[in-house]
Amino acid sequence: MTPKEFISTFREAFGEAPKLPVVFRYTDAPLRVVEKVPGCFFKIFDDVGRGLPVSLNADNIGCGGGKLYTGFAPMGPHIPQFVSVKERYKQTPEMVEQFVASLDLQPAPKAWLEFVRVDRIESWDGIEGVLFFATPDVLSGLVSWATFDRDDAIATPFGSGCSSVVAQVVRENRNGGYRSFLGLFDPSVRPWVDANELSLTIPMSRWRTMLATMRDSALFAHAWSRVRERING
C-alpha cells in the first residue's frame, strides 16, 4: 500500500476529521530547515500539521534531551540530576541513567531528522516511524488495528515526548520489532500538544505488516462505524 493508497483507506476508515499522521526519517538532504527551537521541539509540530516539513539537527534543537533522544548528542552530565531532582520524573539520577542505557541510543545515521506529513511523501523508503496525534476515540481504532494480529503490539513506556516518539521507535525499527508506542504522557511536552491528544508511533518494521491487515481489522466492522460517526460529528 503506497502512502496515497493508505491516505484513501485511512479516510475511509476514520473519516475526514482526524489528523493525518506524520512520518519521520533521517536524511542528508533536508527539505526545510527551521530556526533554532528553544526548549521542546514539539512546539514546531504546528508547522508539520499544516503540511510544512521540519528538518532538525543538533544546531536547531534547543533541548538537551531532544538532542540526546534523536541521536545528535550524548547525554549531558546534568541530565540525570535534572530529570530526577528538578523534574521529578524518576526517583533517582541512577534510574535516569538506567533508562537511557536501556534505549541503546545510537548516533544519528544521517545529518538531519525530518518530520513530514504523510501526504507529502511518495513512498515509505527511509521512513523510521509513523506518528499519529490522536484523541481517545481515534486511539481506540488505532489500537484495535495494531493489536489485530498480536496481543503484545502496544507498549507504554514513560519518558519524554522525544524518547517515546523517536528513540523508542528508532530502536524498535532497527531491531525489526513489532511494538508500537503510546506517548506524550510527559508533563513537559503536554503544553505543546492538544489537550485531548496522545501519540501512537509505529516503527516501519511494524507498519508494513499493519498496512496489510488494515481492511481485515475492526476498522471495517460494525462496532467501529459508530465510533467513526462520533469522531466526525
Other beta carbons within 10 angstroms of residue 155's beta carbon come to: 15
Other beta carbons within 10 angstroms of residue 134's beta carbon come to: 25
| pLDDT at site 162 | 94
Distance CA 37, CA 43 (A): 8
Q: Quickly list H helices, the chain.
A: 3-14, 45-49, 64-69, 79-81, 93-102, 136-146, 161-162, 168-174, 204-213, 222-231
pTM for this one?
A: 0.94
Query: What is the three-class DSSP state of 102?
Result: helix
| pLDDT at site 104 | 93
Pairing of strands 180-183, 154-155: parallel
| pLDDT at site 87 | 86
Residue 101: domain span:
3-231
Distance CA 177, CA 174 (A): 8
| pLDDT at site 137 | 98
Least Cα distance to 198 among 39, 42, 87 occurs for: 42
Distance CA 40, CA 61 (A): 8
| pLDDT at site 193 | 95
Contact 181, 168 (CB under 8 A): yes
Please tell me the total count of domains within the chain: 1
Taking the chain (233 residues) in runs of 10, the rounded mean pLDDT of each run is 97 98 97 94 94 96 95 92 90 93 95 98 97 98 97 94 96 97 95 96 98 97 96 95
Contact 139, 200 (CB under 8 A): yes
- Phi, then psi, of 33 in degrees rounded to 5: -80, 130
Say if residue 188 is exposed, middle or buried (CB neighbours under 10 Å; 0-12, 13-18, 19+): middle
Handedness of CA 130, 98, 153, 109 (dihedral sign): positive
